[in-house]
A and B are shown apart, each in its own frame.
Chain A
């Protein structure tokens, strides 16, 4: 995973290799040129050496003739030896162009040595004249050697001229090549470095951008860095962090939502309680009075009135007691019956209530005072305004995992927009004769209680209205979370 590390190493190695390659080539070439220069110089030096040695030999010979002591003879012998030596050196200079001249040259050297020997011989045998003659000849030969050296050097220059010019040209080319190479390497390295830095900075930039987005609170954008180094790893980790934060935030938001809803339901409850309290002036007094009235009616033989008063009292008590606690459907139905008894007493024959109740379903939990406002609504709109009264059907059916509660009337129906308003939970300006807890209130409480929206459906036409409530049998986890309403 040491990617960046590796990248830097690779880049450095590549640069190093290129430099080393160039250095090696140039050094090799320089060495080659140097050797050539050396060879050339060597040629000239060797030729010059011949001239010098031959002159030295003549000088030594002369010295010996002037002062014939062994020391001078030694010197002469030395220079003779040297002469042989340089002759051998010169033989290496042979090539096809100077073959002839070089052979002559070497023979001249031989001649010189021989003449010197002869001169020495004559000198030793005291034949001074012959010796002098040979000496002058040796001097001449030495001069010829000098001249020939010059000629050879001259021809050497001619032969090698193109070669020398080649060397000069080549050094020019090398200079140009150096510039070209430098430019190319600069370009190449810039390119490499650009790519390299990009491969590091681009992911970093992406990461920075992602961090910026996160800091602005945008948690939904995924972080994607497609490189193969540590940055990618960093980005992956960062992305995981983002996802985690995102989850946490949404959880918090949910919780806030819940809190909000809870607050709302509390408010609603308060409202209904308030409304209740408003509509009940001193309920206990009323309750006791109603009971007294009931007994009195019973003693006076008015049974019907007594029953009615009991119903009113029961209703009143229920309202007082059950409002803040979930009750069973059974209790609700009971209250509903008491309420309907009262309404029947009011409307007599005009109200026709038909109940069909599946007893098995009556154990379902339901918030208090939910059915009564709906029935009340039906009575208010379907029965009360009509002189010949109306029909109300109340049904409780088993719908497998839910209980279906239907309240149907054959009234003039509710207007479409009103239904919408009710189902959306908006409060409606209501008419004067309701008990106070409105339809909307019921809808919202039911939704809060069961935790899902689709709990009530209203079908309305000119021939009547049908309110269908689908109450789940099982309240699921909702039960524990619902705060105690007390």
Chain B
């Protein structure tokens, strides 16, 4: 009886001991992996890529490519920006970047006075190089080092040619653009007009709207009312395409219209896949991202001075709905 008691007792002790041991092991081995303390010695170039449209497919690609390139070249890069073309936020980010004295700024160009002020005066004051990417600003007005992105003029031409191919040499085209006509939009528009002016049978109507969805819809309705015989739509600014297509769809079938846009809107690709767009201009955001980083680093390291002020153009091509399907 007493032996059993002692045995049970010993067993309990062993079990408890084991339990306690494992617990103490768990409790005292710290499994916290704190971020490694930065050595702080290595002087890295700090770059910032600032865009107005964070988390759109186009800018995601550009951002990832830029970061990849920066890592390869031993620089640190962060992607900042605003969502949905929020200019105020975008400009604030730009100012913060300048005040933070980063080594280089890669920025989506914005053709406004505030942007120009910041880029021209502030950045220059602190000696921070600025490269515009994807959308350019007039080089005379800003002291940007260079531009990396598509030739928007060429893009306009391409889209006009595609329109001619699809529609023929006769018809009515509605061009929808932003009320605040940015530099790159102007370039696109110029490109389109350049091609279409050869064809007197093609009538172009230019409509202006803002970024606000309701206004886009209203503008589209207005255009459709005024021009019931229209054959084609071109959204000069890719962001407009979504609301525009939706409104056209509400009126009638989308298919009879030839609708074109660009790929730098948040829903461009999905609209194309759905067949609502007949074609878009596909740019090379990856190339833009990596090339811009490469160039700014070259500039910082004095490897390539000065940079071509005309810009470094990246590839564009027209992407048709048929291809996508």
Contact = CB atoms under 8 A, between A and B. Distances in A.
A261 to B, nearest CB: 54
A162 B32 contact: yes
Interface stretch (B21-29, B140-148, B217-225, B265-273): B21-29
A104 B78 CA distance: 11
Given A108-B99, A111-B100, A100 B30 contact: no
A187 B13 CA distance: 6
B20 interface: yes
A184 B34 contact: no
Contact of B9 (A110, A141, A163, A187): A187
A187 B16 contact: yes
Given A103-B46, A187-B9, A191-B9, A177 B100 contact: no
Nearest to B122: A137
B13 A108 contact: no
A29 B28 contact: yes
Interface stretch (A3-11, A168-176, A248-256, A395-403): A168-176
Q: Which has the most chain A C-beta neighbours within 10 Å: B17, B26, B27, B32? A: B27
A187 B101 CA distance: 66
Most buried by B among A111, A180, A188: A180
B313 to A, nearest CB: 30
Nearest to A159: B35
Contacts of A187: 9, 12-13, 16
B36 A104 contact: no
A130 to B, nearest CB: 13
Interface stretch (A89-97, A301-309, A464-472): A89-97
Interface string A177-193: 10011011001101100
B100 A94 contact: no
A167 B102 CA distance: 36
Contacts of B208: none
Contact of B38 (A99, A112, A144, A174): A99
Given A173-B26, A180-B23, A184-B16, A99 B76 contact: yes
Contact of B23 (A99, A101, A103, A177): A177
Interface string B304-318: 000000000000000
A177 B20 contact: yes
A107 interface: yes
Interface in A73-130: 94-101, 103-105, 107-108, 110-112
B283 to A, nearest CB: 28
A162 B31 CA distance: 10
Nearest to B19: A180
Nearest to B26: A173
B275 to A, nearest CB: 41
Nearest to B126: A111
A94 B27 contact: no
A100 B27 contact: no
Contacts of B97: 104
A180 B16 contact: yes
B165 interface: no
A108 B96 contact: yes
A140 B35 CA distance: 31
Given A174-B27, A180-B23, A184-B13, A95 B96 contact: no
B229 interface: no
B212 interface: no
B40 interface: yes
Interface residues of A, number: 41
A104 B126 CA distance: 14
Contacts of A181: 20, 24
A98 B40 CA distance: 11
Give the dominant DSSP class at A's interface.
helix
B190 interface: no
B37 A94 contact: yes
Contacts of A152: none
Contacts of B23: 173, 176-177, 180
Listed residue (A25, A100, A160) with the most chain B CB atoms within 10 angstroms of its CB: A100
A222 interface: no
B33 interface: yes
Nearest to A175: B27
Nearest to B23: A177
Given A184-B20, A187-B9, A104 B32 contact: no
B27 A177 contact: yes
Interface in B78-101: 78, 92, 95-97, 99-101
A267 to B, nearest CB: 61
A166 B33 CA distance: 10
Interface in A172-216: 173-174, 176-177, 180-181, 183-184, 187-188, 190-191
B154 to A, nearest CB: 36
B52 to A, nearest CB: 18
Contact of B13 (A97, A112, A188): A188
Interface in B33-53: 33-38, 40, 46
A177 B20 CA distance: 6
A269 interface: no
A96 B37 contact: yes
B9 A170 contact: no
Contacts of B24: 177, 181
Nearest to B24: A177
B91 to A, nearest CB: 11
Nearest to B77: A100
Interface of B: 9-10, 12-13, 16-17, 19-20, 23-24, 26-28, 30-38, 40, 46, 76, 78, 92, 95-97, 99-102
Given A96-B35, A181-B20, A184-B13, 9 more contacts: A96-B36, A100-B46, A101-B78, A107-B101, A144-B99, A163-B34, A170-B30, A188-B13, A191-B13
Q: What are the nearest 7 A-B pairs in CB distance?
A: A104-B100, A107-B101, A173-B27, A180-B20, A97-B35, A184-B16, A111-B99
18 contacts: A95-B36, A97-B35, A100-B46, A104-B46, A107-B99, A166-B30, A170-B27, A174-B27, A176-B27, A177-B23, A180-B19, A180-B23, A181-B20, A184-B13, A184-B16, A184-B19, A184-B20, A187-B9
